[in-house]
Amino acid sequence: MPEIAEVETVRRTLKKQILNKEIKKVEVLYSKMLLSDVEEFKTILKGNCFNDIDRRGKWLIFELNEHYLLSHLRMEGKFFLKNSQEKKEKHEHIIITFSDNTDLRYHDTRKFGRMELIKKEELKKNVQIQKQGFEPGEEGLTSNYLLEKFKKKQIPIKTLLLDQTIISGLGNIYANEVLFASKINPFKKGCEITKNEAENIVVMSKEIIEKAITLGGTTIKSYTSSLGVTGRFQQELKVHKREDLPCLHCQTPIKRSKINGRSTYYCPKCQKVG
């Protein structure tokens, strides 16, 4: 699943390729992935151009003249830039053709991704965008903010780190890495997190996400960003997917468990309970 660093890599890559090019044609081959009316979507995009691409959490925000196109890649969504002459692939569901005969093609094997067109003034009211919590590295993400969010929670810290309304953009891979770097047991309840541990989460999430973005994200399973850019953060993973391998700090074999259905990797010694 693309995480914040992957989505940021896609944003930066697309920004170099598609801005200020006139949209000539729009094809919607799977309309359920659009939360907007198909005909309206085509009409608004045609003749328009993307002026900028922003991001909030894992949402990409494409700026048009009077609208925003919101896009969430979910599990398998990818954008490809192709020559318009190129044969259409099976899972290319939305094709936006520019006047220079290049296409922006949205590819999604599992069809979980979503796109929505909204008027610019609606962005402030958009629930999906506004409910996002602070991002790693953002000023508002402080230990006090986290303690306030965690204090009544009886559920594992691992699950809380994946809650996008608390921290926006941390997915399973980075949540595992942040907890390992912060020496926090993933099963520890939110309400038991100390000030010191919350401080570690703030510092480590910033450090890990910044590094992942610099390296273009992490490529695991089917994820590749647009233009076949391959993330190199995979080589930097300290705990994720390292089951039974020795902990890089203490040599204890790394354990794997499921928390809320998600694979959780941790060192039972470095990340002791309590």
Active site amino acids:
2-3, 58, 262
Residue 141 interacts with Zn ion (CB under 5 A): yes or no: no
- Helices and strands (DSSP H and E) totals, the chain: 7, 10
Which residue in 14, 70, 247, 259 binds Zn ion (CB under 5 A)? 247
Determine the residue with CB nearest Zn ion. 247
Rule CB under 5 A: choose which of 33, 141, 201, 267 binds Zn ion. Answer: 267
Q: Which of residues 52-91 bind Zn ion (CB under 5 A)?
A: none
**Of 61-69, 146-154, 205-213, 242-250, which segment contacts Zn ion by CB under 5 A?**
242-250
Instruction: Identify which range of 14-22, 136-144, 159-167, 246-254 contacts Zn ion by CB under 5 A.
Output: 246-254
- Cα-based angle 230, 236, 241 (whole degrees, multiple of 5): 90
Query: What is the Cα–Cα distance from 146 to 154, expressed in whole angstroms?
Result: 14
Instruction: Please report whether residue 179 would count as binding Zn ion according to CB under 5 A.
Output: no
Q: Is 270 in the site for Zn ion (CB under 5 A)?
A: yes
> CA angle, corner 53, sides to 93 and 217, nearest 5?
80
Task: Provide the 8-state DSSP code for 198.
Answer: H
- Interacting stretch for Zn ion, rule CB under 5 A, among 12-20, 45-53, 169-177, 263-271? 263-271
CA distances from 118 to 24, 65, 70, 206 (A): 20, 11, 8, 31
**Site membership for Zn ion, residue 38 (CB under 5 A):** no
Please check whether residue 265 is in contact with residue 256, taking contact to mean a CB–CB distance below 8 angstroms. Answer: yes
Sequence-distant (6+) residues with CB within 8 A of 35 are 114, 115, 116
Name the minimum Å distance from CB 69 to Zn ion: 45
Q: Which residues bind Zn ion (CB under 5 A)?
A: 247, 249-250, 252, 267, 269-270
